[in-house]
Amino acid sequence: MNNRVSAASRVGAILLFVVLAVSAAVGMLMAHLADPAARLGSTSGVMLFNHSSPVSDFEFIDQHGERRDQASFSSGWKLVFFGYTFCPDICPTTLADLNRVWKALPDEARQRLEVVFVSVDPQRDRPASLAPYLQYFNPVFVGLTGNSQALAQLAQEINGFYARVDRGEAPYLMDHSANLMLVDAEWHFRGYIEPPFRPGRLTPILAALAGM
């Protein structure tokens, strides 16, 4: 009789242990899923740094010819993409994807995000050409141009890359990075998102970023 009671006690203890372990695991999983930073950190192609680095202030002009520095932007995350209006493939594809993602995001997420298109070709990208270009994709996207020194400084500080590619008699092209750089409300470089930027992939990523 005592042996049966002892065995039953051991089985009960094991079952209790299993239940507690499963509950703890489920609790940890739910906490992970509820934490936007944790979700982003475990997403393939998304890099969030443990330590952020400040971005120096700058002075560009936007697609409307207005002077833009850091104070001229709304608070929230900046999604910075380097490109140029003469780009034959990467830029139009990325901007079209970003427009589809933008339309899929809830209003509260869009209020905490801002798409910033930084021209790596200020020699050709003047407001007169930049404005209709961005208007075609999404009029709320901000374009920056007009300052080669500020461009070089910004690219250096947030791991952007660009280089002119001469093609003889043909118009030159610009080689440039394709990542979406993540800059927080305090203008600190916090990480980046690698392509592709398909809406099905990028929409939940940006929704989680807006919740941080």
CATH number reported for the structural domain that contains residue 76 in this entry: 3.40.30.10
Indicate whether 14 belongs to any domain: yes
Residues 22 and 69 placed together within one structural domain of the fold: no
Residues 11 and 94 placed together within one structural domain of the fold: no
- At 1, the pLDDT band (50, 70, 90 cuts) reads low
Mean pLDDT of the chain: 90
Q: Which of these, 179, 178, 112, 114, lies nearest to 143 by C-alpha position?
A: 114
To which residue do tokens 């050409």 refer? 129
Domain that holds residue 18: 1-34
User: What is the per-residue pLDDT across 148-203, written as a single tens digit (0 to 9) for each?
Assistant: 999 999 999 999 999 999 999 999 999 999 999 999 999 999 999 999 999 999 99
Give the per-residue pLDDT at 85. Answer: 98
Give the per-residue pLDDT at 40. Answer: 81
Between strands 113-119 and 67-68, the pairing is unpaired
pTM value? 0.82
Give the per-residue pLDDT at 32. Answer: 43
Residues 150 and 182 placed together within one structural domain of the fold: yes
Indicate whether 106 belongs to any domain: yes
pLDDT at 27 over 80: no
Reduce the secondary structure of 31-76 to three states and give it as a string.
HHHHCHHHHHHCCCCEEEEEEEEECCCCCEEECCCCEECHHHCCCC
Q: How many domains does the chain have?
A: 2
Indicate whether 40 belongs to any domain: no
Residues 18 and 62 placed together within one structural domain of the fold: no
Residues 26 and 84 placed together within one structural domain of the fold: no
Residues with Cβ < 8 Å from 158, sequence gap 6 or more?
A: 55, 80, 181, 183, 189
